[in-house]
Protein backbone atom coordinates (compact mmCIF):
# COMPACT_ATOMS: atom_id res chain seq x y z
CA UNK A 1 0.00 0.00 0.00
CA UNK A 2 1.40 3.41 -0.90
CA UNK A 3 1.72 6.02 1.87
CA UNK A 4 -1.22 8.11 0.64
CA UNK A 5 -3.47 5.05 0.76
CA UNK A 6 -2.22 4.24 4.27
CA UNK A 7 -3.03 7.76 5.44
CA UNK A 8 -6.49 7.73 3.92
CA UNK A 9 -7.31 4.31 5.39
CA UNK A 10 -6.05 5.35 8.82
CA UNK A 11 -8.23 8.46 8.77
CA UNK A 12 -11.27 6.56 7.52
CA UNK A 13 -10.85 3.94 10.27
CA UNK A 14 -10.99 6.55 13.04
CA UNK A 15 -14.24 6.91 14.99
CA UNK A 16 -16.50 9.83 14.03
CA UNK A 17 -15.63 11.71 17.22
CA UNK A 18 -11.85 11.37 16.81
CA UNK A 19 -9.81 14.52 17.27
CA UNK A 20 -7.04 15.83 15.06
CA UNK A 21 -4.64 14.76 17.81
CA UNK A 22 -6.02 11.19 17.58
CA UNK A 23 -5.41 11.20 13.83
CA UNK A 24 -1.89 12.54 14.25
CA UNK A 25 -1.06 9.89 16.86
CA UNK A 26 -2.33 7.11 14.61
CA UNK A 27 -0.38 8.41 11.61
CA UNK A 28 2.77 8.74 13.71
CA UNK A 29 2.40 5.16 14.93
CA UNK A 30 2.05 3.94 11.34
CA UNK A 31 5.16 5.92 10.38
CA UNK A 32 7.22 4.50 13.28
CA UNK A 33 6.17 0.91 12.57
CA UNK A 34 6.95 1.30 8.87
CA UNK A 35 10.33 2.83 9.68
CA UNK A 36 11.12 0.00 12.09
CA UNK A 37 10.25 -2.64 9.50
CA UNK A 38 12.51 -0.95 6.94
CA UNK A 39 15.36 -0.80 9.48
CA UNK A 40 14.96 -4.47 10.36
CA UNK A 41 14.84 -5.43 6.68
CA UNK A 42 18.11 -3.57 6.09
CA UNK A 43 19.82 -5.38 8.98
CA UNK A 44 19.62 -2.55 11.52
CA UNK A 45 18.38 -4.57 14.47
CA UNK A 46 19.56 -5.85 17.82
CA UNK A 47 19.10 -9.16 19.59
CA UNK A 48 16.40 -9.77 22.17
CA UNK A 49 19.06 -9.99 24.87
CA UNK A 50 20.54 -6.61 23.89
CA UNK A 51 17.07 -5.07 23.94
CA UNK A 52 16.48 -6.43 27.46
CA UNK A 53 19.80 -4.94 28.63
CA UNK A 54 18.89 -1.53 27.20
CA UNK A 55 15.43 -1.65 28.77
CA UNK A 56 16.91 -2.43 32.17
CA UNK A 57 18.98 0.78 31.96
CA UNK A 58 15.97 2.88 30.88
CA UNK A 59 13.66 1.52 33.57
CA UNK A 60 15.94 2.30 36.52
pTM: 0.73
pLDDT at 17: 97
pLDDT of residue 60: 78
What pLDDT does 15 receive? Answer: 97
Q: Cα separations (Å) of 1 from 5, 7, 14, 54?
A: 6, 10, 18, 33
Asked if the model's pLDDT at residue 19 lies above 90, the reply is yes
C-alpha closest to that of 30 among 13, 50, 51: 13
Sorted by where each begins, the domain ranges of the chain are 34-60
Query: What CA–CA distances, in Å, run from 34 to 22, 39, 52?
Result: 19, 9, 22
**pLDDT tens digits for range 22-58:** 999 999 999 999 999 999 999 999 999 999 999 998 8
Q: pLDDT at position 58, please? A: 87
Alpha carbon dihedral 49, 27, 7, 37, in 10-degree steps, equals -10
DSSP state of 42: T
Amino acid sequence: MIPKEQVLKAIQDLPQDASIEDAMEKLYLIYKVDRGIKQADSGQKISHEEAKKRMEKWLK
